[in-house]
């Protein structure tokens, strides 16, 4: 297998697509130019484009030192953030971790909060860390987001009461804007170590800033290899990036309105969650955009498999196909063969999984579901770094091909306005009366 992630389009596009491919190739090249020359909409948010090659030794060392401090003092580190301020770290940590690390002793455990307003979730997490040494990484670019704000207030209060102000000051790190927002003011006042989210990097493109790198380092993973992988894609990934951007836009024009990111590797579940935010927030605008969905196979073949095989033909699949597993497990022979599985005795579990992947591809293509394939040699820091940059740049190109600004998210403000009005937040008095009248409250 190649040492870089690759895009295979032959199960997704065919002869009848030739004209469309030609037109969209020109459009993709123009979009890439717009992106690289910084001449398109949202061009003040392009800091991620050359981020991998701009990260220096001093920055990495600094993050590793902070991570070492948290690992030294803390059994748990609660990473607080939502959307782009948590999904990148969550996806990399989940992809690289032992699936059952939470139940195994040893090592600092990275836990997440502030990505929901679940009272029971917060109660259970507080219950878990009570009486244990814990630290906090609080991440918010705006510094004013409600979900992480509530979680931080709770865990800061708990930590200060449990371990004292001095321990809390040493083991709370804030990642936020250089100047703006309540979190910046609070961090300065309290004397926390802070990291800056660059002005020109939006949340969903921020995984290679301290937003992602710090929690990933705390979890014990190699952020240098992650960044090195992204550098490889920044320097030499354009062919694959364009292949993906062009193919998904051809499919969209063919009426395939939903892209399902499928994996056959359970550790990739959160890669899909990160990807959904990246593409959903970037492209879903002006009543346009491919709807990003995801499935975990073979698990979901037993739930969503029927719909994918036989439901409305508005979907295509992008399969994240992984080469090597980290470990080998061989299926044993059984003399009695009561379960009838001796036909696969002596095979690795992954061999069976690979046959499931091939069988599914043929079935879905035959059923009218084009399959794009992204091959990934293995799930390592390096290949995850490649994948992150690959998806980010393809997203910028694809968004410009669609004719939207891929770097804003005006639509996410609407629910917040209503929520603040209903919570009687100061400044929302007028909206409060209006929404209460509409809801007959
Ligand atoms: O991608 C984005 O811009 C959003 O998902 C934000 O990251 C998310 O809303 C969190 O915002 P903030 O970091 O300001 O708390």
- Give the separation between CA 388 and CA 385, rounded to whole angstroms: 5
Q: d(Cα 240, Cα 131) in Å, to the nearest integer? A: 50
Three-class DSSP category at 285? strand
Q: What is the pLDDT of residue 413?
A: 83
Indicate if 287 belongs to the active site: no
Contact 151, 113 (CB under 8 A): yes
pLDDT digits (tens, 9 = 90+) for 356-372: 999 999 999 999 999 99
Cα(140) to centroid of ligand 1, in Å?
A: 7
What separation in Å is there between the alpha carbon of 348 and the centre of ligand 1?
Answer: 42
Whole-angstrom CA distances from 294 to 85, 245, 319 are 20, 18, 10
Ligand 1 pocket, 357 CB below 6 A? no
- Integer distance in angstroms from the first to the last C-alpha of the chain? 61
Gap from CA of 84 to ligand 1 centroid (Å):
5
Are 92 and 222 part of one and the same domain?
yes
> What pLDDT sits at residue 1?
53
What is the average per-residue pLDDT within 91-120? Answer: 96
Q: What is the dihedral of CA 178, 52, 243, 271, to 10 degrees?
A: -70
Ligand 1 binding pocket mutation candidate from 79, 81, 83 (most atoms within 8 A of CB): 83
**Where is pLDDT greater, at 413 or 216?**
216
β-strands 371-378, 6-8 pairing? antiparallel
Domain harbouring 250, CATH code: 3.40.50.10490
What pLDDT shows up at residue 301? 96
Residue 440 belongs to a domain = no
Residue 414 lies in a domain: no
Would the CB of 11 count as within 6 Å of ligand 1? no
What is the Cα–Cα distance from 90 to 201, expressed in whole angstroms?
Answer: 18
Domain annotation covers residue 416: no
Q: Has residue 428 been placed in a domain? A: no
- Do 292 and 355 lie in a common domain? yes
Q: Tokens representing 186? A: 């609070």
Share of the chain above pLDDT 90, in %: 94
Choose the catalytic residue: 10, 302, 327, 440: 302
Distances (CA, A) of 260 to 124, 297, 398: 33, 11, 16
Q: Ligand 1: which of 81, 84, 116, 148 to mutate, judged by most atoms within 8 Å of the beta carbon?
A: 84
| Whether 302 is catalytic | yes
Question: Span 307-314, mean pLDDT?
Answer: 97
Pair 286, 189 in one domain: no
The response to whether residue 84 sits with its C-beta less than 6 Å from ligand 1 reads yes
Which of 205, 226, 247 is the C-terminal boundary of a domain?
226
Is residue 2 pLDDT above 80, yes or no? no
Residue 375: Cβ within 10 Å count = 18
The answer on 241 and 186 residing in a single domain is no
Is there a single domain that holds both residue 99 and residue 215? Answer: yes
Residue where a domain terminates, one of 226, 250, 270: 226
Site to probe by mutation for ligand 1, drawn from 116, 141, 273, 284 as the one with most ligand atoms within 8 Å of Cβ, is 141
Angle (CA) 104 110 116, round 5°: 120
Residues 191 and 70 in one domain: yes
Is residue 334 assigned to a domain? yes
Q: Which of 380, 16, 413, 409 is nearest to 229 (CA)?
A: 380
Q: Which atom of ligand 1 is nearest to the CA of 84?
A: 7
Residues 127 and 147 in one domain: yes
Residue 412 — pLDDT band, cuts 50, 70, 90? confident
- Number of neighbours of residue 199 by Cβ within 10 angstroms: 14
Q: Which residue has the tokens 């001796």?
A: 342
pLDDT in tens, 144-185: 899 999 999 999 999 999 999 999 999 999 999 999 999 999
Same domain, 239 and 376: yes
Residue nearest to atom 2 of ligand 1 (CA): 203
Q: Is residue 413 situated within a structural domain?
A: no
Q: Total structural domains in the chain?
A: 2
Q: How far apart are CA 236 and CA 45, in angstroms?
A: 22
- Confidence label for 239 from pLDDT (cuts 50, 70 and 90): very high
Q: Taking residues 113-127, report their average pLDDT.
A: 98
pLDDT bucket at 254, cuts 50 / 70 / 90 = very high
Cα separation, 408 vs 395, whole angstroms: 13
What gap in Å lies between CA 292 and CA 309, rounded to an integer? 18
Query: Which of 281, 294, 217, 227 minimizes the C-alpha distance to 409?
Result: 281
- Could you tell me if residue 113 is inside a domain? yes
Q: Supply 233's token pair.
A: 């894609």
What is the total residue count of the chain? 441
- On the question of pLDDT at 383 being above 90, the answer is yes
Please indicate, yes or no, whether residues 104 and 176 belong to a single structural domain of this protein: yes
Which pLDDT tens digit goes with each residue over 25-79?
Answer: 999 999 999 999 999 999 999 999 999 999 999 999 999 999 999 999 999 999 9
The radius of gyration of the chain from alpha carbons, rounded to an integer in Å, stands at 23
> What is the residue-averaged pLDDT of the chain?
96
The pLDDT of residue 414 is above 90: no
The verdict on the CB of residue 281 being under 6 Å from ligand 1 is yes
Listing DSSP states for 6-72 in one string gives: EEE-TTT--GGGHHHHHHHHHHHHHHHHHHHHT-STTGGG-TTTTHHHH--HHHHHHHHHHHHHHHH
Locate tokens 């004397």: which residue? 191
Q: In ligand 1, which atom is closest to the CA atom of 412?
A: 9
Q: Is 155 helix (H, G, I), strand (E, B) or coil?
A: helix
- Final residue before a domain boundary, out of 202, 226, 250: 226
Question: Which is it for strands 6-8 and 258-263: parallel, antiparallel or unpaired?
Answer: unpaired
- Looking at residues 258-263, what average pLDDT do you find? 98
Q: Among 281, 283, 317, 357, which one carries the catalytic annotation?
A: 281
Span of 68-82, 327-341, 425-439 with lowest mean pLDDT: 425-439
Residue 384 resides in a domain: yes
Residue among 44, 79, 80, 85 to mutate when testing ligand 1 (max atoms within 8 A of CB): 85
| Domain hosting residue 88, numbered range | 51-226
Query: Which ligand 1 atom is the nearest neighbour of the CA of 83?
Result: 5
How many angstroms separate the alpha carbon of residue 432 from the centre of ligand 1? 24
**Residue 202 shares a structural domain with residue 243:** no
Question: What is the per-residue pLDDT for 328?
Answer: 97
Percent of the chain with pLDDT over 70: 100
Task: List, as one string, the DSSP characters of 161-188.
Answer: HHH-HHHHHHHEEEEE-SS-SHHHHHHH
Q: How far is CA 326 from the centre of its chain?
A: 22
Do 157 and 255 belong together in one domain? no
**Is the shortest distance between the CB of 42 and ligand 1 below 6 Å?**
no
Residues 68 and 138 in one domain: yes
Q: Note the pLDDT of residue 173.
A: 98
**CB distance 77 to 113 below 8 Å:** no
């Amino acid at each position: 297998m190649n040492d870089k992630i690759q895009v295979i389009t032959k199960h997704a596009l065919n002869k009848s697509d030739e004209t469309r491919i030609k037109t969209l190739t020109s459009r993709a090249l123009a979009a890439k130019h717009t992106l690289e020359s910084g001449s398109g909409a949202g061009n003040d948010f392009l800091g991620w484009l050359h981020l991998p090659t701009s990260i220096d030794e001093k920055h990495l060392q600094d993050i590793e030192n902070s991570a070492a401090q948290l690992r030294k003092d803390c059994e748990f580190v609660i990473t607080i953030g939502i959307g782009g301020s948590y999904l990148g770290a969550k996806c990399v940590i989940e992809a690289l971790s032992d699936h059952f690390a939470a139940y195994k002793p040893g090592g600092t455990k990275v836990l997440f909060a502030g990505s929901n307003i679940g009272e029971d979730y917060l109660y259970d997490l507080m219950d878990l860390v009570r009486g244990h040494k814990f630290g906090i990484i609080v991440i918010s670019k705006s510094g004013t987001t409600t979900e992480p704000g509530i979680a931080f207030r709770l865990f800061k209060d708990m930590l200060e009461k449990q371990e004292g102000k001095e321990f809390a000051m040493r083991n709370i790190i804030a990642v936020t804007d250089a100047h703006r927002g309540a979190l910046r003011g609070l961090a300065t006042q309290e004397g926390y170590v802070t990291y800056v989210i660059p002005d020109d990097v939006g949340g969903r493109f921020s995984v290679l800033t301290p937003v992602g790198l710090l929690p990933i380092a705390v979890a014990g993973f190699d952020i240098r290899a992650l960044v090195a992988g992204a550098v490889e894609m920044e320097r030499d990934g354009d062919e694959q990036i364009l292949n993906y951007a062009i193919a998904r836009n051809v499919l969209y024009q063919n009426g395939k309105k939903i892209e399902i990111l499928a994996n056959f590797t359970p550790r990739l579940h959160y890669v899909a969650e990160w990807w959904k935010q990246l593409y959903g927030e970037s492209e879903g605008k002006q009543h346009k955009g491919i709807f990003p969905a995801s499935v975990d196979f073979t698990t979901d073949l037993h739930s969503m498999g029927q719909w994918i095989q036989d439901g409305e033909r508005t979907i295509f699949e992008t399969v994240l196909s992984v080469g090597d597993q980290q470990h080998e497990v061989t299926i044993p022979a059984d003399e009695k063969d009561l379960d009838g599985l001796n036909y696969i005795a002596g095979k690795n579990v992954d061999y069976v999984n690979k046959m499931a992947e091939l069988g599914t591809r043929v079935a879905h293509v035959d059923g009218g579901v084009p399959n794009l394939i992204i091959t990934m040699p293995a799930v390592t820091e390096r290949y995850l770094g490649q994948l992150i940059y690959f998806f980010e740049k393809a997203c910028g190109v694809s968004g410009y091909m669609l004719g939207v600004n891929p770097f804003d998210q005006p639509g996410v403000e609407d629910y917040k306005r209503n929520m603040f009005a209903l919570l009687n937040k100061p400044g929302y008095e007028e909206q409060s009366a209006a929404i209460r009248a509409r809801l007959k409250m």
